[in-house]
Structure 1
Amino acid sequence: MFIDSKMSMRMLFVALMLFAAVAIGVPAAFAETAAKGTGFEKTSIIEFTNNDTVEINTVRIWLGKDIGDFKSFKTEKGWTGTKSAEGLLIFTSSKPLKPGESVKFGIKTEVGNPAINWRTLDTRGNELTTGRTEIGKPVQDTSIQTPKDTPQTPVAPAAPTNLDSAKFRIIPESPKNGDEIRVIGEGFPPNSHFNFLIDNEKLDDFSSDGSGNVLGRAKIPLNKQEGRVEFALSDDQGQKKTLSIRIVGGENIATVPSTQKLVVNPGSNIFGPGDTATVSGMAKPGSAVAITAKDASGKKIYEAVAQVDSQGKWSHETVIPPDAELGTRTIEFTNGQETITKTISISVTKTIRITPSSIRYEPGDRMLFNGTASTTQPVEIFIKDPIGKEIYSDILTVNETGTINFGFQTTQTSTKGTYVVIATQGQDSEILRIGLGEAPSEQLVAKFDKLNYASTETARLTIQGPAKAAVSLLIIDPSDRAKLTDSVTLGLDGRKDYEINLSGYKSGVYSVVLKYLKSQVSEVFAVGLSTGSGEIKLQATKQTYLLGEGMLLLGSSKPNVLIKLEMYDPSGELIKRKEVFTDKEGKFSEGTFRIPADAKQGMWVVRGTSGPNYAETKVEVVGTVEQAFVVNVDKSTPYRSGDLVKIVGAGGGKTQTVIVTMFDPKGAKYAELNTFSTSTGSFQITWKVPGSIDPGEYKIVAKLGNDNAETKLTIQ
């Protein structure tokens, strides 16, 4: 429910009894590390100065309430940055920041002037300072300079604003007490902060955009007397643009009591790191509720104030930091007269968590992932390319420590864009978006917790996308008619578990279409599909496969039945499994099965089962069994100019440099390619046949450590 950090913060109450306005800052007496930030539009620079007596090795940054996500970041020379799956930016350096030195980081966020939470650690990982910095001073140059760069010209103080040409209006033009109004303005200074006032009483905070437009919402207090009032937009220098309007009394003024006891609504008391947490309740209209969180030792770790609206309602939302320590927290709610205390627990609420080594890779890099999971069952991994095609899958056994790690080798010709990584264990899933050649885009990703449900169950759809995004949802029934339309608002962490009550859903296959701006994703789920289908027919489109080659499976049975497909290697180890269903004609096809690049050679079995019925097909994975280290190309027929050649090797040294040399028909060296082997000793390189290459037989020699392997390809 509350940001868990060891930072010291003070609350400056302008009107203590009513909690009308609050400013949050970091006292210098408690902050050994100093941080200051400047911003221009959605790009900010935050500078850290080490005022401590020890070196700083790591800086962690996460966003404040309602800011959304980091779009990109930039570091000074000598520092590297990564983004965790939960949105935490982690900056580290091989040359720690010495006392008296400073470092700058550039960040781009979804909205301008964000509130930045940060934490510094020493070379041993011990926490030094935690703080919060408000970005708000505009700058013209958002570049990050290295220590060798020419120093930046100091930014001049902001010039006084001029509101002569500014104007605003409200909708509706004749509001009543208690009405929610829209404020629309133009001609204001760009990227500036304004207080929205009614008779010099603050109602809300607004900001102008880069074009000087102001757009916001506010509510007129119910206890405002009927008559002429003055609305005003006031800048930070005290200059105002005013508008005089007569308001009329609302019929429901007497329905809201002038006093209201403090109420905190019951809610969840268990949260996990990275979760979005909310709390709400009732209090005296127009007042405020102060919220204070303390750790198990009684140390204050978080403070916030929730404003109470004219109806007596209040709410507060925040994100538990990804690096929050586990344990209990005591939360105090007070309105100045009453205090309510509640206890929450920060614990592991998900059985599986996956973190990438980076959120962006370059073609040819190896994507690396590590995480934790329950030791009771394996973890299934799927990776989809930018067009949504599944290009990698694996089943990982979790060791006794509960840790897992895996990787995916890209090539120089891999498609650039956003890759989706899905890790599933039981009903829990972790969804990551990784960029190749560019930053990952904020596309929608969705996944059901299973494929087939009974009509008495509730389907759970995990949706991930931009923070606070309003996503439209459409469910289409087996007759291609709209079954349900809805709007889903994602949380601050960009995630939402949407539940579908299947009562009244007839048997069949349903489609779900999700849309947000230009992003769209579709998923399917089934209700009431049977097993025990009778005869099953199953076959692969060919009988011989090379290492790393994809497989297309075709089959048939009765219409609308559920079939489980499983692939086993020659030793009987399960390599991949997936549930599919037959269509209205009893047909099915599945193209996501793939022979691993480090597969064992021999006879592989793919089995389809439905209740007591099953069928299987056998395929041969070819290779030279006598040779420990082998290399192959993806087909034996000739290649042409422009074709892509997949060069696959297996059985060599683990995590080592691989040098692949190609010799032309005359024996002269034609090309040399480099990559790295995986933790299992396999590798894969994709090479595009040039347009000017001479036809003939080419020899390929792969060298991995002390091992060498050869193969040939023909170009016509």
Structure 2
Amino acid sequence: MRARITLIDDCLYTPYMILGVVVLGFLVFVGAGAHAQTDVSILGNSILTEFTNVYDADIDRIAVWFTTDHTIQSHAVVSGWDVVSDEQTLQMVNGILEQGQSVKVGLKFQGEDANIAWLMASGDDILEQGWILQEEVGEVVGDEIVVNVIGILPESSFHTVPTKPTVGATIRVVGTGFAPNHSLELLIQDSSVDSFMTDSDGGFVTTLTLPENLEDRIEFVIVDGRGNESHPLSLRLDVAPDLHADATLAITSISETFSLGDFLDISGTGRLNSVIVATLINPEQDMISSIPIKVNQEGLWSLSDSMVIPLNSDFGEYTINISDGVSAVSSTWTVEPGTNIAVKAMRSAFEPGQVLKFEGEAMPNTDLTLILQDPNGNEVIIDTIQVGSDGSVEWEYPTQNNSLLGTYMLILTQGSERHITYAGLGSEVEEPIWLIFDQPNYLHSDRPKVTVENVPNEVITFLVASPTDSIVYRDSIELQSNGRAIYEMDIQNFTTGVYTAIAQKGTAQSSYRFGVGLSMSASVVKIDTTRDIYSPGEQVQLLGTATPDSIIRITLLDPDGSIVHTIDTFSDRTGRVAERHIRIPQNAINGDWSIKMSSGSTSDIVTVAVNDVQQNNLSVSVESTGQSADIVVSGASGMYVYISILNGDILIEEPIRAYTTDGGKATSPWTIKISGTYTIVVEDGAETAQTIYDYERN
């Protein structure tokens, strides 16, 4: 079987040489505006692909690789090219494909439902890349067929806002978990009412007005291009207000639950053409905001997108008060965290030398990972604690008198859930700018989606620096009243390389690195570490070299060869790789650990020793001036030590956790209340040390 596959608008049309059958075909996807001419022949688990050069430049490298867990059994390439291949990747190098010329690549592989990516390059410039996806296509009609990718997935779901609409009301339908960038259709009572596209994350938001002729209960269904249907959503409609009467003041529609940053979708009735005032009250009964709302000539009003719950608000019960100057109505609802993690600093500002204290709740009986970053974005400490059965969380970090002043960020993670909170040292919290891209690497034809968060209604300066550190993109992003904006940028004129996006407001700044046109196909990879021996919990500084502008995958493996952590990064335009986000786990076992750096079929491995026992290094002493003393620990391994103070055999207070510096030192202040002979015991998980201290009060 042979098939020529051509991209036309949003559909793929495939002429086949056989009729009236259902087949499995490989679909070749390229970015918008691409020019690849690709001829594909398929027989069972064998595929023959013919690439044609339509560019002015000569092509000297072609790569084909699996992005799924499949293996190449054999391959065939025409003469004139050198082949570099492993189980999942095939590269053709040291050949020349001039404009108008074609070359064929044959693969035989194991497994089903394979995803195959490809690229064509000239020197260091990637001219084009795309994917070959195995999908079920429909019945062939005549000599062509429209191929529709499945849009309804097992995790697809949707809901309406409000959840109890009225006949004739304008509502929003919100969906998540659908296929990305897919065309869907919305049916009500089996009749089509709307069609729309999902975004790159598989979500959508669409607005529509319910027909006036609907009955008491209605059913919503989402349908994709193949006719697959979602699970139906059945709703009972509320009675619509009498639009011909001068309606009394009332709240007719409101959700039971909102999250921080949500707009309040609340509506109701009032006196025709009057002005009412909506006031939002937080759990402490303080007013957050108050705005006037116009009641229309039909006696209806709506907050719509005019009022938002600020991102820095507390969780709990909120109240909305609606008043027309004569009468008033109110309603309450609960603001809940978007995750099971709800932790915040006990104070908005601490003084240098004080302990940063955080309290809250998280998922019970589950490990919680905490990463504290200083105002410069450097990791100060990474800790993992076991949350008890009651779900309560208490965590603290002692600062020094010379600690860096500014806003500290604490990142808390449990499984796939993540929560961020802030604390100020020496000043109030300055809301940092949150900058994130929807993916780390893009084709030139893509339009990256950038999420920016900060203070509501602020204007953020957005810059992009090229691989040579020159500014190649500049714009201003105005945040919405919920402090968030989603910005799309055009990168079709960007050259291949690693770029740095910068978001600025006053002295606050945040940055994010992303790639354009990069591939995981480096021909050279070399990795090294700054040290050979590490203790559990220590950060590993990696240095390496690779083919410039390549995607690099770094994998940490324990002594048993099991993967502990994987991250993707880039090599810059000089081929340099520097990474500091690999850390030996706190509970790491002793032995030889491996760190692998790979890009496509090329890789390099370095081995480091992990040893949590450093005999006879741990020591403790007391430095005092009167009742004020410092307990000084040296030679500790790990991130922290526990200090116990005993008077005789009596433990005078709960053990103190003190965090260590890179040199294994820790200091904890101690106020001595009464005279006596004290025993100070320190433990670091590997060793125990103690000292005796006599104190006589003058």
Give the TM-score, by structure 2 length: 0.44
Higher relative contact order (CA 8 A, sep 6+): 1
